[in-house]
Amino acid sequence: MNKLFQPFFAFLLVLITVFSCSEDTLNSVEPPRDYAEQYDVDNDSLIHYLKTHYYNHQDFQSASADEFVDFVIDTIPEGNTSLISLFDQVSTETITIINSDDEAIEHNYYYIIAREGEGESPSVADSVYITYRGNLLSGDVFDQRTTPLWLDSSSNVRGFSDFSSKLKRGTYTDNTDGTIDFLNFGAGMVFMPSALGYYSQSSNAVPSYSPLVFAVNLFTYKQTDHDNDGVPSSEEDLNADRYLFNDDTDSDSIPNYMDSDDDGDGTLTKDELDRDENGVYDDTDEDGTPDYLDSNYS
């Protein structure tokens, strides 16, 4: 049995490069490039990469339930017609990015579920217990974690957290020696344009405007409530677009998932959420908007 996975439930918040950098860490002096133009460039690069590379998909199909399989991506040799390209195996997801002129720019990312997993999937707001490897289209690995760690999905780059929510967790067994064995966990890869990664930000390992590839194993996850207001963070994505930063009921620039008084009426959400404690959010005027999002009721 695989004893790779040891520090379970030790919640670690580790600052690593799948995290988005904050605005003040931008080291680019030029204004960021136009999203639509950059997307076209990135998407061409991604399509070319997908058509010219393959991965070891058979290793995943033949793996036993507890086996940890490394993702191996390689170039299809010239003239080879038997290898199946990544392009012929990917699914596509579209994320809309709103630019500074309020225009919606659709961004595709591509992904492969190599191992289905057997449990539920996390939301983009949850904490995920994962291993991963990140590489550029050149093949260079810029970040890798082979020991599982907890990551807060809301802090990860958007393409990473969105893709994570497509994986299913596995099951696990506690061993008497304190180790954990994970079984049938979900595993896959995501191929994303730079706008869903670090975009204009750069580091030594990741140049600006780099499309990214991540291979991810999802062992398990847990629900979060970032602002401790009693509403799970996943429910604070009110418009259900799998993005937490554009839901701000009281327009105070603090998104709901971080706002302990969502409607800004001076009563904390936790104090007006469910006064009669019947498990249903209170809606005093029965207008369909619960009191904690209704500034008419506090």
Q: Tell me which residues touch Ca ion (CB under 5 A).
A: 227, 229, 237, 239, 241, 243, 246-248, 250, 252, 254, 256, 259, 262-263, 265, 291, 294, 297-298
Residue pair 94/108 in contact (Cβ under 8 Å)? The answer is yes
Q: Which residues contact 37 (CB under 8 A, 6 or more apart)?
A: none
CB-CB contact of 66 with 2 (8 Å): yes
Minimal distance in Å, beta carbon 282 to Ca ion?
9
Q: Please report how close the Cβ of residue 75 comes to Ca ion at its closest, in angstroms.
A: 38
Instruction: Name the one residue in this structure whose structure tokens are 């004893």.
Output: 3
Q: How far is the CB of 248 from Ca ion (least distance, A)?
A: 4
In sequence order, which ranges of 133-229 are alpha helices (DSSP H)? Answer: 158-164
**Angle, alpha carbons 9-192-98 (nearest 5°):** 100
Residue 284 CA to residue 297 CA, distance in Å, equals 7
Closer of 125 and 189 to Ca ion (Cβ):
125
Helix (H, G, I), strand (E, B), or coil: what is residue 71?
Answer: coil
Residue with smaller CB distance to Ca ion, 40 or 241: 241
Closer of 56 and 295 to Ca ion (Cβ): 295
Query: Residue 17 corresponds to which tokens in the numbers above?
Result: 């490069």
Minimum distance from residue 250 beta carbon to Ca ion (Å) = 5
Phi, psi of 25 (to 5 degrees): -95, 0
- Could you tell me which of 16, 84, 30, 79 has the C-alpha nearest to residue 53? 84
Closest residue to Ca ion, based on beta-carbon distance: 259
From start to end of the chain, where are the E strands? Answer: 53-55, 73-75, 91-98, 104-115, 127-136, 141-152, 171-174, 180-183, 186-192, 212-222
User: Nearer to Ca ion by C-beta: 174 or 241?
Assistant: 241
Phi, psi of 55 (to 5 degrees): -140, 170
Contact 137, 144 (CB under 8 A): no
As measured in angstroms, the least distance from the Cβ of 8 to Ca ion is 29
Residue with smaller CB distance to Ca ion, 142 or 243 = 243
Nearer to Ca ion, 161 or 256 (CB): 256
User: What is the closest distance, in whole angstroms, from the C-beta atom of residue 273 to Ca ion in the complex?
Assistant: 10
Nearest-approach distance from CB 278 to Ca ion, in angstroms: 18
Nearer to Ca ion among residue 116 and residue 235 (C-beta): 235
Q: How far is the CB of 107 from Ca ion (least distance, A)?
A: 16
For residue 121, the one-letter residue type is: S
- Structure-token match 């605005």, residue found: 23
Closer by beta carbon to Ca ion, 66 or else 248: 248
